Amino acid sequence: MSDWSKFQAETLAAQALGLIDEASGAIIPAIHPSTTYLRDPDNGYRRGRIYARADNPTFEQAGALLTALEGGADSLLFASGMAAATAVFLALSPGDHVVVPKVMYWAFRAWLHETATHWGLRVEEVDTTDLDAVRSALRPGETRLVWLESPANPLWSVSDIAAIADLAHRAGARLAVDSTVATPVFTRPLDLGADIVMHSATKYLNGHSDVVAGTLTTAKQDEFWARIRQVLVRHGGILGPFEAWLLQRGMRTLFVRVKAAAASAQRLAERLAAHGKVSAVLYPGLPGFPGHDLAARQMRGGFGAMLSIRVKAGEAAAIGTAANVDLWKRATSLGGVESLIEHRASIEGPSSPVPSDLLRLSVGLEAADDLFDDLDQALRRAGERA
């Protein structure tokens, strides 16, 4: 077996750490659907696996690859991104103070405001792009966790992971980062000082819009990580072995997919910024974007494949544009090979900070100019009617 630590991330991903099935010699690993494991004659479990809510060789394959890609100490796989994110908060104690972003994935924001506060967490929202605001929200000895999302849905604001890790640690808090949009291709939050990195693996990690999954990766195996593992195993929100297998398959092409999609997103953002029907393009790769300089430092080699546009003629024209596309698919979610468009305000409801003229674009692997042409005709037709 090679020493995999000497290889670059692309190599680790392409061969999934060189996994082969020892029993058959197959170069693609087996799927283990077994719910239970044989006990030794002396009643022990020398092979280390007891029951499949906690232990499964198929989880270990995907988890080990993700741990290597994030540069962490261990990973856990969950039934969804929401199950992964909520597990971090459920490992805290009622009464703990947590600092979360104002702009973030809306369903998780809703959970924090409804369930987490009901359960006794003191949840404080701040603009995490403003370091002074983060500093003054932290309460040394009371704040246990800071949560970041960067770039953050669906305005793509960028938060300074290294600076906030430092602030959080000085106050005695941990930092966890939802890195779904950045992916390990462009950002490794643990290298920047974060304690935990979370992914909705439903998105880029799997990448084919055919698995719902979530992951957490830790910088170190400590008592907090043990509590998170206990939440996973006791609540039982585990990933199925077939989904875990699809996830390791998807991660093998992570680098080529994400780099190609990000290059198209950059090209689209530049062309849309010059479009007469568009009042603003929100994309960290554009020099005029407020978080651009920070993104250029924090994200390595690209700015991701998510952007949003604001339609000059307003909400009706934005909804009309989404109605008029042909190639883009009108659907929620992101990070698949097919490009998706969505009017977010009508999904998120009145408490959302998202402007009503905004369309969120998840750029897939189609030719960038085909995507532009389709959006261009849709913007023009919507403009005619508005």
Ligand X SMILES: *Cc1c(COP(=O)(O)O)cnc(C)c1O
Partnered with residue 36 across adjacent β-strands are 51
- Binder to ligand X among 67, 75, 153, 339 (CB under 6 A)? 153
Residue 85 CB burial class (10 angstroms; 0-12, 13-18, ≥19):
buried
Q: Using alpha carbons, select from 182, 176, 125 the residue that is nearest to residue 151.
A: 182
* Interacting positions 305-334 with ligand X (CB under 6 A): 334
Instruction: Write down the least CB distance from residue 104 to ligand X, Å.
Output: 7
Coil/strand/helix, residue 230: helix
Q: Which stretch binds ligand X (CB under 6 A): 9-17, 29-37, 78-86, 155-163?
A: 78-86
Q: Which stretch binds ligand X (CB under 6 A): 37-45, 81-89, 221-229, 230-238?
A: 81-89
CB within 8 Å of 94: residues ≥ 6 apart: 119, 120, 121
Phi and psi at 231, nearest 5°, equal -60, -45
Q: Using alpha carbons, select from 374, 186, 161 the residue that is nearest to residue 262.
A: 186
Q: What is the enclosing helix (H) or strand (E) of 218? A: strand 214-218
Distance between CA atoms of residues 110 and 329, nearest Å: 26
Under a CB-based contact definition with an 8 Å cutoff, are residues 94 and 120 in contact? Answer: yes
Does residue 37 have an active-site annotation?
no
Is 86 a binding residue for ligand X by CB under 6 A? The answer is: no
Q: Using alpha carbons, select from 163, 343, 334 the residue that is nearest to residue 262.
A: 334
Is 29 a binding residue for ligand X by CB under 6 A? The answer is: no
Does residue 45 have an active-site annotation?
no
- Binder to ligand X among 57, 63, 72, 81 (CB under 6 A)? 81
Instruction: Write down the least CB distance from residue 198 to ligand X, Å.
Output: 7
Sheet-wide strand order for 122-126: 74-78, 214-218, 196-200, 174-178, 143-149, 97-101, 122-126
Is 82 a binding residue for ligand X by CB under 6 A? The answer is: yes
Instruction: Write down the least CB distance from residue 103 to ligand X, Å.
Output: 11
Instruction: Write down the least CB distance from residue 180 to ligand X, Å.
Output: 4
Q: Which stretch binds ligand X (CB under 6 A): 4-12, 127-135, 178-186, 240-248?
A: 178-186
Instruction: Write down the least CB distance from residue 348 to ligand X, Å.
Output: 13
* Interacting positions 180-219 with ligand X (CB under 6 A): 180-181, 200, 202-203, 212, 214
Under a CB-based contact definition with an 8 Å cutoff, are residues 334 and 340 in contact? Answer: yes
Residue 56 or 153: which CB sits closer to ligand X? 153
The 10 Å Cβ neighbour count of residue 41 is 6
Q: Using alpha carbons, select from 159, 212, 245, 157 the residue that is nearest to residue 335.
A: 212
Q: Which of 96, 105, 160, 174 is catalytic?
A: 105
Residues near ligand X (CB under 6 A), total:
17
Residue 245 one-letter amino acid:
W
Residue 165 or 176: which CB sits closer to ligand X? 176
Q: Is the peptide bond before 184 cis (omega within 30 degrees of 0)?
A: no
Does residue 178 have an active-site annotation?
yes
Does residue 135 have an active-site annotation?
no
Is 364 a binding residue for ligand X by CB under 6 A? The answer is: no
Instruction: Write down the least CB distance from residue 121 to ligand X, Å.
Output: 18
Instruction: Write down the least CB distance from residue 347 to ligand X, Å.
Output: 12
Q: Which of 96, 178, 357, 374 is catalytic?
A: 178
- Binder to ligand X among 89, 105, 147, 156 (CB under 6 A)? 105
Is 80 a binding residue for ligand X by CB under 6 A? The answer is: yes
Q: Which of 109, 144, 203, 249 is catalytic?
A: 203
Active-site positions read 53, 105, 178, 203
Please report, as ranges, the residues that interact with ligand X according to CB under 6 A. Answer: 80-82, 85, 105, 108, 149, 153, 178, 180-181, 200, 202-203, 212, 214, 334
